[in-house]
Structure 1
Amino acid sequence: MVNIRSLDPSASPLDYYGAELRRLREEAGLNQAQLGDIVFCTASLIGQIETAKKVPTRRFSEQLDAALMTGGVFSRLVGLVLKSQLPNWFQPYAEMEAKATYISTYQAQLVYGLLQTPEYARAVLSVDHSDKLDEMVAARMERQRILEREHPPVLCVVLDEATLHLEIGGAEVMRKQLAHLLSFLNHPWVQVQVLPFAVGQHAGLMGSFTLLRFEDDPDLFYAPVYGGGHMTANPQVMRERSVGYARLQATALSREDSAALIARVMEERYGHQPGPAVA
């Protein structure tokens, strides 16, 4: 039996998406099974999305737009839906990140979210979000779309060497993640540097942080804390952390030497190991 649960479209972006899907499907004279056949999914999935029980993917949304000839309605809505899946405390930062023209970040343990592979992100997020893992991974991948814009932000990343050695998700996941980092070597707007262990004490010892700069808004400082994050536009904090970040960049390996270190760790630590000999 078709689920006809009433929805409050104003309750959330997910509810609005579901209500619009039901409305436009019915206007097209299609039942859930018929639409499912067109977009290559089950009637059950259509029903779950219409009743806000399941989060749609971007690919699904693009298929809906083509099937229902909506002019891109669902491709536009899905960004809001996926953003709403981020933790409440993180959403304000994600909104500012998406508006920034310059992003400068130091990461002490993990690869920055904008550069994570889906597999690496899944392993990281599984620690605290196993109940909605697919949605969280999709939301993190959606954040990365800002790097695909016609005018993307400039992204400067300094990774502590520890991020290369902390095995997240297993050797194969790490190998793919480090290969992904290497793919940015010649990217015009992304710079990845590694801060080697040999540096000793440095300006990032207090932990990971990010600086966001904008065309017209005040600069922002952001630092993750347990169960949340701290964001401020305090000029003195920006002054101190900007100097600290400049020192980190100056101390870190060059772009080319960083790539060489990443490649070496990828092969030596996460390279394919030969299996046991067969008698």
Structure 2
Amino acid sequence: MTFQPEKLGQSKAVLASSLRELRKRVGLSQVRLAQRCNMSQTTLSNIETGRVGPSLVDVELILRVLKASPAEVAEVMSLARLAHTEWQSKRASWRTGLEKRQAELAGLESEATVLRYFLPAMVTGLLATPEYVKASLSGSPGDKSLTAARKLERQAVLYDTTKSFSFLLTEQAVRWPVLHRAAMAVQIDRLASLSHLPNVRIGLLPIALTEVRGPMNTFTVYDQRLTTVETFTGRLVFQDSRDVAAHLSIFEAYEQVALFGEDARCLLAEWASAFRS
């Protein structure tokens, strides 16, 4: 099934309908199917009406009990994966106000305990200086002052020691000249300073690393329950455990070769000095 963002909102209803029609075609009642799947009839009813989104494991079990054909399994599992994926258009964020997006991010950060950020292109707002935050919003429409203020307010979460933060930044992300040279040096100094926080790990991926795959999308993993992936035109939100696990695996692979601690701070000092020279 080809990914089409506009169909994500429809996938839950289509999934529910498909499962219901498959059951009826086989001639099983909800009660009988629920018994064979070891779930309550109420749960199955909620799945078939779209009130509850089933996990991929639930969908696989239902399809196996219903003896669905390989083509039916492929189609319904594609629907199930889409049902666990949300598309948030950047244009929609602009219409509703970028500060609303900051409130959503603050909510995700407040609920999570372990947060991982993979940053191949730019420094995230949590680690940014006020000048960098302002510059990063230059391409956004409307009044950006409130959004910038909200971004800076969110940085307070870094000092909550009940949470742990891991940031992986490529050399490009750190050195991309978003600001004039002196301000870029200050931004890099901030990264070094924040790396001293006991609950914050900042890892660097220098360009010289050749033994790993080339980095692609910016993504964030909140605990082990949700992943957001950034694109030019919006963001994808994955809630399926397999998608989250895949992004955790990618993060861990880069984490194994990243530079941390004093090694990272020495490299940051070198990059900052280059901007000052």
Which consecutive segments of 4 or more residues in structure 1 shift more than 6 A? none
The one of 218, 230, 241 aligned to 1:224: 230
Kept after mapping to 1: 8 A contact 2:102/2:150? no
Q: CA RMSD in A?
A: 2.1
Deviation of 1:228 after TM superposition, in Å, equals 2.2
Using structure 1 for the length normalisation, give the TM-score. Answer: 0.60
Do structure 1's residue 166 and structure 2's residue 176 form an aligned pair? yes
The one of 238, 247, 260 aligned to 1:254: 260
Matches within 5 A, 1:53-68: none
Kept after mapping to 1: 8 A contact 2:218/2:230? yes
Deviation of 1:186 after TM superposition, in Å, equals 2.2
Do structure 1's residue 100 and structure 2's residue 112 form an aligned pair? yes
Do structure 1's residue 240 and structure 2's residue 246 form an aligned pair? yes
Kept after mapping to 1: 8 A contact 2:99/2:150? no
Return the letter of the residue paired with 2:155: Q
Matches within 5 A, 1:114-125: 114-125=126-137
Do structure 1's residue 145 and structure 2's residue 156 form an aligned pair? yes
Matched residue, 2:139: 127
Tell me the distance in 2 between the aligned counterparts of 1:186 and 1:89: 29
Tell me the distance in 1 between the aligned counterparts of 2:214 and 2:151: 24
Deviation of 1:255 after TM superposition, in Å, equals 2.4
Deviation of 1:231 after TM superposition, in Å, equals 1.3
Using structure 2 for the length normalisation, give the TM-score. Answer: 0.61
* CA-to-aligned-CA distance 1:130-188 (integer Å, 9 cap, x gap): x3121121010111121233x44211000001022211121122111111011023210
Tell me the distance in 1 between the aligned counterparts of 2:172 and 2:104: 28
**Residue 253 and residue 244 in structure 1: after superposition, are their counterparts in 2 closer, same or farther (change >3 A)?**
same
Do structure 1's residue 189 and structure 2's residue 207 form an aligned pair? no
**Residue 128 and residue 249 in structure 1: after superposition, are their counterparts in 2 closer, same or farther (change >3 A)?**
same
Q: Which has the higher helix share?
A: 2
Kept after mapping to 1: 8 A contact 2:118/2:167? yes
Kept after mapping to 2: 8 A contact 1:158/1:194? yes
Identity of aligned residues (%): 24
Matched residue, 1:58: none
Matched residue, 1:177: 187
Tell me the distance in 2 between the aligned counterparts of 1:236 and 1:202: 22
Return the letter of the residue paired with 2:159: E
Give ranges in structure 2 of 5+ residues lacking alignment.
1-95
Deviation of 1:208 after TM superposition, in Å, equals 1.1
Matched residue, 2:46: none
Kept after mapping to 2: 8 A contact 1:220/1:231? yes
Deviation of 1:92 after TM superposition, in Å, equals 3.4
Kept after mapping to 2: 8 A contact 1:105/1:209? yes
Tell me the distance in 2 between the aligned counterparts of 1:235 and 1:127: 34
Per chain length, whose mean CA-contact separation is higher, i.e. which structure has more relative contact order (CA < 8 Å, sep 6+)? 2
Kept after mapping to 2: 8 A contact 1:109/1:162? yes
